[in-house]
Structures are given as C-alpha cells and as structure tokens.
Homo-oligomer: A and B are copies of this chain.
C-alpha cells in the first residue's frame, strides 16, 4: 500500500502487518507457520523469522513454541513521544529563539520522598527562560547532580542552556517523563508573564546515567498554547 519495501523480510513484515491493521487477521488469529511462509515467499526460514521476530518485538504478534504465532490482543496503546531540544521546538514554529539564565546556585539534596537524588548529593540548581520571539515560551527549573556531572560546576549556563550542555557532556541516559497540568504559582506566573493560576503544562524529566540520577528538570509551558504530541504505529514502521 505504501512505498515498496526494498528487502524481502521488510515486504513480509509489511504484508503481515497490513493484514492485521486492515482487520483481515483479528486478534487471536493464527499467522502461518514459518515453514508455510517460507514456501509462500520462496525464501529461507531466517528471512521469515526476521520479519516475524520484529513483529513480535513491536508487540503486534505473540509467538509461542509449538503453538505458532498469533495476532496480539492490544493491551495498551504504546505511543512514541519525541522530546526535542526547546530551541528546535521554537525554531520549528518559525520564531526566533532566545535564552535567558535567571538563577544558578548550589544546594544539597534533602530526603524528598520520590526524589531521584540520594540524600546529601550536591546539586546545582538552575532556573532559566526560553523565549519564542518576544514571548516567554517555557520556564525551566533544573537540578543537576554534581556527583554525576562534576564538570557542571565549571559551567555558568549564561549562554548555553543546561539541556543543550548536558546532552553534549553526559554520555547517554535513561529517563522518566511525567506530564501534568498545574496552575501557575506566583513565581512561575511572574516569570512567564501570565496570571497566577493559569493552567500550565508541566513536563518533568528525570534523567539517569548508568546508575546515578543525572538531572531532574521541570519544563513549564504557559497556558494551553503548547502541547506534547506522540505518534503511534503498531508495527513500528510508519513514521509519517
């Protein structure tokens, strides 16, 4: 239906995925065995297996030894949320990006329930504003673990936003995102130039290194102007 897949295992994947998406093969339906597909496509089992394994990884089918492969019953919809740098978000809207550091100081992690940092960890607290054109686009409140990223001590964050700096200096990470609606408190409202209590979208991201928590950031978007979008493709193929 789409562009022709270049390789055979991709075509097999697309064929099966297409049947499932179209509803020809409802949840619970048994997919042809590998040796049957081998005959249908006139190829080796490895090629068929590559396609089916990927479908299983993407949760579109379930595979059971001796029983066969079956169309999965959807348990939850899994969407892929892409979180870009704020500068890229702003420029994608065709607006000029500007960054402003508001505050930078040290503190020590206290025993916060649910907090990502061990008690006593030395932290750098950074507060800054991201502008889209003339208007504040996002207020960023960030804690950086100086235990995980001691180099942050030397960085003033006057020019380079901490998110950009971190993505360049911290090797890689796993992360947890939490998205919620909050009324803006007085300080937030003042920084963003909105009225206290205005509904705002808060995206909190906790980033972890191999073991240690690296950073905990709250990105506060004023009003209902900003939205987070996520796309979902059952076979993990389409991108649109």
Interface residues of A (CB under 8 A from B): 1, 18, 20-24, 26-27, 46, 60, 74-85, 88, 167, 170-183, 197-202, 205, 209-210, 221, 223-224, 226-234, 238, 240
User: B77 touching A78 by the CB < 8 A rule?
Assistant: no
Q: Which of A23, A171, A200 has most chain B Cβ within 10 Å?
A: A171
**CB contact under 8 A between A229 and B181, given known A20-B171, A80-B80, A83-B77:** no
B79 and A84 contact, CB distance less than 8 A = no
On whether A210 and B21 interact (CB within 8 A), knowing A181-B199, A201-B180, A224-B180, the answer reads yes
Given contacts A79-B81, A79-B83, A209-B21, contact A179 B176 (CB under 8 A): no
Q: How far apart sit A27 and B74, CA to CA, in the bound complex (Å)?
A: 36
Q: A172 contacts which chain B residues (CB < 8 A)?
A: 20-21, 23, 60, 74, 234
